Structure 1
Amino acid sequence: MESPVRQLYLLPLLLLLCDACAQVYGCNETGMLERLPRCGRTFADRMQRVDVWKWCNLSEFVVYYESFTNCTELETNIVGCYWPNPLAQSFITDIHRQFFSNCTVDRTHWEDPPDEILIPLIAVPVVLTVAMAGLVVWRSKRTEQLL
């Protein structure tokens, strides 16, 4: 098995070669659907090394996921397809459902406060700003009178 570093160096060369193939032959969707499961199997094998309760923490498997993404891109380009495309996205979505369906994002639903609270929060700073400006003007005129 090649090292991940070597794979990263070879990836641009392979993508360049595959881009030339795409221009000549076009997209072979059947070939792509035959090749993408290899990426999924490799990703699944690697994910088995990660505890299931850590599957929602991307930092635990980011290297595996990056490798999976690179693999899907490479395989789609080899058969002359662009990436991402609807078929590849569908495949990636299926992998997400398989591994990350229990990962939910708890998002806080923000609402504006009621008017009884919102109006004073806006009015008080405005009134204080006007009052402080008035106080500065009044004080500066009074200093001139004292001199």
Structure 2
Amino acid sequence: MVRAIAVVGLIVGLIAAVVFGPRMLGDAVNQSGSGQPMAECNLLAAPCQWTTPAGKWEATLDTLTGEGEPGIEYQLTVTTPQRPERFLAVLRGESMYMGEYPVPLGNRIENKYSARFTAPFCTMDSAMTWRIDLQQGQEPIGDIPLKLVFQAQSR
């Protein structure tokens, strides 16, 4: 009886590893599936630029001044070579998991999209590193060779 329970537990564990393992490990490798770690680009240090077969992309993150909010407000601007529909930036905790926060990017002019947001902050650690993943609806935008990150701090 104990062996049967152990075998069933092992099978359930293997199935869970097959189903959830690639998703958990997928954050550490390039979206193209090459298995190589992605280079980080700190959005607060300088604009991040890359080129895809569709053309040139650029992402910038500016700190905005505002009163009354517990966190710092940011403005993300992304210039694209094409016009994606349902364009999203998804904030994901890089230094620790704190959930996923979709931020819809609105079209400003031509192929420039932007959004204002306040990144959630951790009460345990005042400096939190966030990653921004660009998506078109539910699908990640492929061919991005950089990991877009920034370090959010509370006021």
Would you say same fold, with TM above 0.5? no
Give the alignment's TM-score, normalised by structure 1: 0.24
More helix by share: 1
Give the alignment's TM-score, normalised by structure 2: 0.23
Q: Which has the larger radius of gyration?
A: 1
